[in-house]
A = this chain, B = another copy of it.
Amino acid sequence: MVLDILILNGVVITMEGKGLGIIEKGAVGIKDNKIEVVGESREVEKNHTAHRYIDATGKVVMPGLIDAHIHTGIGILKGLSQDVDNWMQKGLWPFTKALTQEAKVKGSMVNIMEGLKAGTTTFCDYDEPMLDIVKNHATLGTRARVAETVNEMPADLSGLKIGDVYPLDPSIGQQKLQKAMKLVDNWHHQQNGRITCLFGPQGPDMASKELLLEIKDLAIKHQTKIHMHVAQGDREINQMIKRFGKRSIQYLDEIGYLDEYLMAVHLTEATKEETRLLAKKGASMILCSGSIGIIDGIVPPAFEFLEVSDKLALGSDQAPGNNCNNMFNEMKFTAILNKCKRQDPTIFPAWKVLKLATIDAAKAIGLDHEVGSLTSGKKADIIIIDFNEPALFPLVNYPVRNVVPNIVYSAKGSEVETVIIDGRIIVDNKTITTVDERQVVKEAHKHAVEICNKAAEGITEDNNMFKMMQEGLL
């Protein structure tokens, strides 16, 4: 058989088997959108020819990274709500209020490009209007598991004071659910299977019990998962107690939400017991170390989750919080923040966080039959990292191998040279092949300026960034 692409002589990290399945001088062969063969270069070369060869000498070949939680629709707001208290209400809302659908879509494109160039091949994109945003994934060629965010909250919450119980309106929930169903009808398993859909209730505090149960039935019917914020901050817990008289995870347990259909995002405020309960019942956890660190100064209870389950994935969350949608950033912060939380340098070792961004993530989002490791039959989602950069020097394999620590603790994402998704080369020599990068950024920029001008009226003295600006500190 003539392969389409044959990558030779790289350090191949397959993420297969009990360990990481590293092949020192390895090869990966691709036919159509799938991996055909993985093995020693010497052996693979003997039995295969290809239309295109990639020499990966001095480079690392590994599965594409999975960003299990990202809101690309607010990517255009990067850097506009940092170092503030009440991040969402005081920092973000004046800007989100000003967002147009077009700005969301244009900003989303740049946001996905950022992740893609840093080796992210699968995005669990959770936003609205997903019917429009999903087209960016189709255009760019990225793999995506998309969810339309569904809640029962009115668009304008400007009259709301911090601590007030949100008004919920079932008619709004139904309108949004209609869009979510249309998304599933139009996009589930489309683009050669690259695009699949999830259901996306925004949080237990933002929808009625009835709506959540309706969504659960739909998830079962379509055999897909529910992507949802859970215990994402004291704001949510306060809302839950005021509205339902109980904390989020107890409530979700009682309504039958804690099972393998649930991908629970954040768990910032979950206690150890709540975290273990959620893990034991089969739900996945999505850990957003960078974003929760910067927004809340909190390290979520991932260690407790891992004591019970390995269905843990990492997410970059969003640009105006994290300011960075890059899974290398998430791997490094996850390792170091957890070491600091426990004052133990041996926990969250490099090999473990690498799994959290690849094979474990694939399990957590229900896509491990297709991606997350390099083995014959899986979809060809592969990245190649150039190790000739001074920052990644040296690369040795005896008496210990340092490739994995150097990926997690040294690489920044900018060393990713090639990104292959579904068998297609989407990033070649660090340049996106499917769109004109500079043009996309330039166009989106006009929208960013427009949004900021509109948002100006909502920015007042109680916004920390505004204060810093007046003091000449920004």
Contacts and interface: CB of A to CB of B under 8 A. Distances in A.
Interface stretch (A195-203, A303-311, A365-373, A466-474): A466-474
A343 B341 CA distance: 12
A20 B344 CA distance: 37
A68 B354 CA distance: 31
B351 A468 contact: yes
A231 to B, nearest CB: 16
A296 B113 contact: no
Nearest to A113: B390
A390 B344 contact: no
Q: Which of A322, A412, A456 has the largest count of B CB atoms less than 10 A from its CB?
A: A412
A161 interface: no
B398 A456 contact: yes
A400 B80 contact: yes
A46 interface: no
A414 interface: yes
A107 B85 CA distance: 44
Interface string A445-474: 100110011011001000111101101111
A441 B322 CA distance: 33
A160 interface: no
A335 interface: yes
A117 interface: yes
Contacts of A445: 393-395
Interface in A392-430: 393-396, 398-406, 409-410, 412-415
A293 interface: yes
A79 B87 CA distance: 36
A348 B297 CA distance: 11
A345 B398 contact: no
A56 interface: no
A391 B87 contact: no
B391 A114 contact: yes
Given A76-B394, A80-B402, A85-B346, A339 B468 contact: no
Contacts of A390: 110-111, 113-114, 117, 437, 441
User: Max chain B CB contacts within 10 Å: which of A341, A388, A399?
Assistant: A399
Interface of A: 17-22, 75-76, 78-80, 82-85, 87, 107, 110-111, 113-114, 117-118, 290, 293-299, 322-326, 333, 335-337, 339-346, 348-351, 388-391, 393-396, 398-406, 409-410, 412-415, 437-438, 441, 444-445, 448-449, 452-453, 455-456, 459, 463-466, 468-469, 471-474
Top 6 closest A-B pairs, CB basis? A19-B472, A79-B402, A414-B414, A323-B409, A394-B448, A83-B349
